[in-house]
Amino acid sequence: MAENKKVRLTLVRSKHGRLPTHTACVAGLGLRRMHQTVEVIDTPENRGMINKVSYLLKVEEV
C-alpha cells in the first residue's frame, strides 16, 4: 500500500433538499459547501458514497 490512489471531488450541485442519507454521504466525504474540492483516498467505502451521490459531484482521478 505504498501508493494510495486518490480521487478529487467537487460539489457542483447543492445538498439542500436532498435525502438525509445523501446529505450524510456528502458530509462523510468532507464536502461542506458548493464548489469546494477535496481529495479522498480511493477505497471501496469512499467509492460507495461517491456512487450514491454521483449526481451532485464532479469526480476526477488523481
In a domain, 49, yes or no: yes
Per residue of the chain (62 residues), give pLDDT as tens: 457 899 999 999 999 999 999 999 999 999 999 999 999 999 999 999 999 999 999 999 98
In a domain, 53, yes or no: yes
**How many structural domains is the chain composed of?**
1
Domain that holds residue 23: 6-61
In a domain, 1, yes or no: no
Would you list the DSSP string of 8-62? EEEE-S--TTS-HHHHHHHHHTT--STT-EEEEE--HHHHHHHHHTGGGEEEEE-
In a domain, 52, yes or no: yes
In a domain, 27, yes or no: yes
pLDDT of residue 4: 86
Question: What CATH number is attached to the domain comprising 48?
Answer: 3.30.1390.20
pTM of the model: 0.89
In a domain, 21, yes or no: yes
Using a 10 angstrom Cβ sphere, with 0-12 exposed, 13-18 middle and 19 or more buried, the burial of residue 6 is middle
